[in-house]
Amino acid sequence: MLRRSRTAGVRNVIITGGSLKESQHALRMAKDYGMFATVGCHPTRSQDFDKFDAGPEAYLRALDNTIAKHKTGKGRVVAVGECGLDYDRLFFSPAETQKKYFRMQLSLAKKHNLPLFLHSRNCHSDFVQILREEGFGEDGGRALGGRGGVVHSFTGAKEEIDELLEMGFHFSLNGCGMKTQENLEAAAKIPLDRLLLETDAPWCSLTSTHASSAHLKTLPKPLSDVFFPPSSKTFVEGKMVKGRNEPNAIGGVAWVVSKLHGVTLEEVAEAVWKNTCELFALEDPLPEMDVPKVAAAVVARVAAAAAGPSAPSLKSESAFPALGRR
C-alpha cells in the first residue's frame, strides 16, 4: 500500500486517532514509518469516556499525557482529534454525550497549541455553538492558545462554509464530499487557500455512482493507473483490495477539485501542500515516509506520459499530502 502511495506522489501521511487506544496505536505506527498522527476521540466513540475504568476525567488526562509525550520527534502528534459531533449515527453515542466530550477535548488544543482535526455530520448549529463558546469563534481560537483546525471529510452545505471560514477554519475533501451535485457546488466554493485534501482511507472512496465520476472520466490514463491501480476482491500481493480506499487515490480527489476550480492539478497540489504544512506545522520539504523509494524513473515516466495539451503539468517531485486513518 505504501509503495502504491509513493508511486502516486504521496510523500507522507497523517494517521488519525479515533479513540485513546487508536491514538496510541497511530503514534506507534507514525514513529515506525516516519509519519504523523492525531490524538483524540471520535464522536461515535465518545462513550469511551464514560466506560473508562478511572472515569471521564482520567480518559481526558490520558489523551493529554499522550499528546504531551509525543509533541516532538519522529512520529509526532500534529493535531487534536478526530473530535466533533455526528448526528447521523446517534445509535453509537447520544448527542448529549457527544457534546460533553467534544467540549472537553477542545481544552487540549488550547493547552498544547495544536490545530483541531474536526468531524461534523448533520450537526452544524451545535457544532459551531460549542466551538464559539470554547473560544474558537474567531481566528481559530488563537487568542486562547488554539491554532485553528480542519473540518475533515466535509459534506456540509454551502451556507456552512461561510460561517466556518469566518471562524478561521480549513476544510478537507474526500470522496464522501463529492457524492452529489450539491457536494460539488459546495466544494467549488471552498477557497484554495483554506483547502486540504484527504482519502479517509480505507473509507470514502470515489466511486462511479458519485457526481465526481464525470470529472474522473477526464483523468489521463497514466494518472488513473497510479491513482486507481488494479484491485482484487481478495488480498493479492501488489494489488488494492476492491472497495478499500487507499492514500494513492488522493490524486483523484485533487483532479476533481482542479476541474471544479478551473485550475491545473499541479496548482491544486501546490496550494494544498502549502496549507497542510502551515496548518499542522510540518517542515517543508517534508521528510518521506519510511518505505522503499520508488525508482525516480518510474515517477518521471508517469509524469512524462501525463504531459500533453490535454493533461496537467505533473513534475516528478510533485507530491500530495495525505490525510487518512491508515
CATH number where 43 lies: 3.20.20.140
Within a domain: residue 315? no
**Range in 40-54, 85-99, 217-231, 312-326 with the lowest mean pLDDT:** 312-326
Does the pLDDT at position 74 exceed 90? yes
C-alpha separations of 237 from 8, 33, 234, 240, 241 in Å: 18, 20, 10, 8, 10
Q: Give the mean pLDDT of 91-116.
A: 98
Does the pLDDT at position 326 exceed 50? no
**Distance from first CA to last CA of the chain, Å, rounded?**
10
Q: What was the pLDDT predicted at 224?
A: 94
Cα separation, 72 vs 49, whole angstroms = 26
Within a domain: residue 157? yes
Cα separation, 169 vs 149, whole angstroms = 5
Mean pLDDT for all residues in the chain: 89
Within a domain: residue 33? yes
- H helices of 228-285, in order, are 250-261, 265-279
| 109 close to 141: Cβ distance less than 8 angstroms | yes
Within a domain: residue 317? no
Beta bridge partners, 150, equal: 117, 170
What the block records as the C-alpha cell of 186 is: 459546495
Beta bridge partners, 240, equal: 231
DSSP 58-79: HHHHHHHHHHHHTSSSTT-EEE
Q: What was the pLDDT predicted at 290?
A: 74
Within a domain: residue 318? no
For residue 152, the enclosing domain spans 2-307
Instruction: Give 300's pLDDT tier (boundaries 50, 70, 90).
Output: very low
Number of C-beta neighbours around residue 80 at 10 A:
31
Amino acid at position 305, single letter:
A
Which residue ranges make up the annotated binding site for a divalent metal cation? 82, 119, 152, 200
Burial environment of residue 316 by CB neighbours within 10 A (0 to 12, 13 to 18, 19 or more): middle
Q: What was the pLDDT predicted at 49?
A: 98
Within a domain: residue 128? yes
Q: Give the mean pLDDT of 63-91.
A: 97
Q: What was the pLDDT predicted at 254?
A: 96
Q: Give the mean pLDDT of 124-141.
A: 98
Give the dihedral sign, CA 187/188/194/195: positive
Does the pLDDT at position 154 exceed 80? yes
Which residue ranges make up the annotated binding site? 82, 119, 152, 200
Characterise 34 by phi-psi region: left (phi > 0), alpha (psi -120 to 50), beta (else): left
- Count: domains in the chain: 1
C-alpha separations of 92 from 86, 169, 297 in Å: 9, 27, 48
Cα separation, 275 vs 136, whole angstroms = 19
| 199 close to 174: Cβ distance less than 8 angstroms | yes
Count of helices and strands (H, E) across the chain: 13, 10
115 Cβ contact partners less than 8 Å away, ≥ 6 residues apart: 78, 79, 80, 109, 140, 146, 147, 148, 149, 150, 279, 280
Does the pLDDT at position 294 exceed 50? no
Within a domain: residue 326? no
| 181 close to 305: Cβ distance less than 8 angstroms | no
3-class SS at 39? Answer: strand
Within a domain: residue 320? no
